[in-house]
Amino acid sequence: MKFTAEQIAGILEGEVVGNPNAEVSRLSKIEEGEEGSLTFLANPKYINYIYSTKATVTIVNDSFIPEQEITTTLIKVEDAYAAFSKLLHFYNQVKLNKNGIEPQSFMSEGTKYGENLYLGSFSYVGQNVVLGDNVKIYPNSFIGDNVTIGDNVFIFAGAKIYSETVIGNNCTIHSGTIIGADGFGFVPNEEGVYSKVPQIGNVIIEDNVDIGANTTIDRATLGSTIIRQGVKLDNQIQVAHNVEIGKNTVIAAQSGVAGSTKIGENCMIGGQVGIAGHLTIGNNVRLQAQSGVARNIKDDEVLQGTPSLGYTDFNKSYVHFKNLPKIVAEVEEIKKQIINPKNGNNG
């Protein structure tokens, strides 16, 4: 899809300096700009590239005045970085705005859906499903029975949404994610053989939630596993049965939350963090990467390590840990001096 500099300036409320009919069809970094591409200049460190870039159109701050000859057409705006971000959002909306039901997809009778539905090939929609407006379900996706999905939801290729799941508005679920699989519930008998505990709850995902690729969120044993509004989950995260994650909490990749743990609001959890089950994590908690949490955490705590310590205590302890061989050597030397004083005085 091609856009002219004049069209882009209209979207950004900017001013064209150069050829208003210059056409672009892709985006690029300023140092890698090629003919037909659009780029931007916001950081002064990159100003030299504007004189050599081959990008057809460049977004710049309206205060920019070239000191050498340039070949790129300029679009001057108040804030080049914010304008480019706005343009990325617009571009993404255009790129992802697919409509219609493609061949080889299956939708059960009685499915209710709103306007501008997109259902990609080889996708399956089960019985009693309700889909809102502007729902986009990409190829090879599975939507189980009795699922409810709100407006403006993107479900990318290969995602699996098990039965009874409830998804709110303005959510994005990336490829390979599985929502609503059975929780890890087994009970051993006297012989040590494990019997499965039926998992008959569901998963509830509230509005404005983003879920990365290959993340798994298990259904509750009873009740619901709940992801509150505004939560952002990275790729390859495991959320176990009956977990609740508070609103606007963010969790980085490869982290795991064991069953029935409650995480508060506005928490920031780094990559590869492990959180044990049946815990309560307060609001505004910060967990540094690779921390292991095995206790309840109060509001506003910042922790690191396994088992996790207060962030400041961890850093102080780590200084001593690095110096441990030296400290041991000094202790041994002190012991020798006590046992065999150099001055020969034992009393």
The pLDDT value given to residue 154: 97
DSSP annotation of 183: P
CATH class held by domain 1-94: alpha beta
DSSP annotation of 116: T
User: Does domain 158-301 correspond to CATH entry 2.160.10.10?
Assistant: yes
- The tokens of 334 are what? 């002190």
The pLDDT value given to residue 132: 98
Give Dmax over CA atoms of the chain in angstroms: 98
- Helix 324-339 to helix 311-322 angle (10° resolution) is 60
Question: Taking the complete model, does pTM exceed 0.95, yes or no?
Answer: no
Our answer to whether residue 241 is catalytic in this structure is yes
Q: What is the pLDDT of residues 126-184, one digit of tens each?
A: 999 999 999 999 999 999 999 999 999 999 999 999 999 999 999 999 999 999 999 99
The pLDDT value given to residue 347: 46
The pLDDT value given to residue 292: 93
What parts of the chain have a pLDDT lower than 70?
309, 341-347
- Helix 80-96 to helix 5-12 angle (10° resolution) is 110
User: Which of 174, 241, 278, 320 does the annotation list as catalytic?
Assistant: 241
